[in-house]
A = this chain, B = another copy of it.
Amino acid sequence: MAKKVLVSGGAGFIGSHIVDRLVRRNDMETLVIVDNFWTGLRENLAHVTDPRVHLVQADVETFATAEKFDEIIHLASPASPPWYMREPARTIKANLVGALNLVEMLNPGGRISFASTSEVYGDPLISPQPESYRGQVDCTGPRSSYDESKRCTESLLFELHRTAGIDIRIVRLFNVYGTRTRPDDGRAVSNFLSQALTTGELTIYGDGLQSRSWGYVDDIVSALERYFWLDNVDYCGPLNVGNDREIPVIDVARHIVSLVPGARLKLCPPIPQDPTNRRPDLTLCRKVLPGWEANITYEEGVRRTLEWFREAVVLKGAQTDAPSPVRLES
């Protein structure tokens, strides 16, 4: 049966890559993309010409339609601290009120997939973090709108699964980087790359020894594609997805400095409540998605991203209002 699919946040960094995978499907009748272009960019979908795709500019929490969907993939949310810390209430609305709105649009037997985050673990006291770890989030802190709205949206979906039998898929994404990150995204890799290509000064917050597990977007989206619709999996989540090679922020910066002539490090004061470490325990992921691995090394991922940034940042500039060939509705 031909499926009706909805993706919220489909013009975003990860969302647009998900759209690229979705349009490969033969079993899909329509794909509705809902995005308000808060952090998403129209140009991320500029290459999409599939006539099944309909792009709607709307906030996910107030988006209304008479249609129902067989599969909903809820990605709408800023993911970078400077963005969600500026507009915390809006972040909570996108995640949680968005999910409350979307579940009403599911066809009977339909599935909702949700991109949660490793931020549900807060500043973890154990490493690597398995899905059973309950986390260490300060629910009164400056990062809490993101962390807590992801946690509460997980709760909503697991509880709707338990009480109403709704089919769900919940992933917890660890750090992702790659092409189509906004130059002004504010997270480490994209920051370093756009800084290397513009001012030349790569800003390190604190001692730079805080570590992250950098997952290249193609690897991560391959896991999502399998988990959200390709594989026949009997597990609704939560599922850690990421690269488990843990690298200090300063090492990534030094690597980029070595690639871009004239680039150099600039040390800045630490960011409040910046997690000191983050690394996925992928035991469950390897069982649920056998054969999947984050194979792209960070050296290779950084190379590809740098190439893309050279074109996007330096050659094209910020074409955030470029016209899109996909149909724009309401």
Contacts and interface: CB of A to CB of B under 8 A. Distances in A.
| Interface SS of chain A | helix
A15 interface: no
A242 interface: no
A314 interface: no
Contact of A122 (B134, B140, B152, B238): B134
Interface string A80-93: 00000111110011
B160 A88 contact: yes
Q: Which of A86, A92, A100, A238 has the most CB of B within 10 A?
A: A92
Given A88-B159, A88-B163, A138 B134 contact: yes
Interface in A102-144: 103, 120, 122, 134-142, 144
Contacts of A151: 137, 139, 148, 151-152
A149 interface: yes
Interface band, chain A: 35 or more
A154 interface: yes
A39 interface: no
A24 interface: no
A177 to B, nearest CB: 26
Q: Which of A85, A89, A154, A160 has the most CB of B within 10 A?
A: A89
Interface in A137-189: 137-142, 144-145, 147-149, 151-152, 154-156, 158-160, 162-163, 170
Contact of A137 (B86, B93, B134): B134
A48 interface: no
A97 interface: yes
A144 B158 contact: yes
Interface string A50-83: 0000000000000000000000000000000000
Given A96-B152, A152-B139, A145 B122 contact: no
15 contacts: A86-B163, A88-B159, A88-B163, A89-B159, A89-B160, A134-B136, A135-B139, A139-B154, A140-B154, A142-B159, A144-B158, A145-B159, A148-B148, A149-B155, A151-B152
Interface of A: 85-89, 92-93, 96-97, 100, 103, 120, 122, 134-142, 144-145, 147-149, 151-152, 154-156, 158-160, 162-163, 170, 237-238
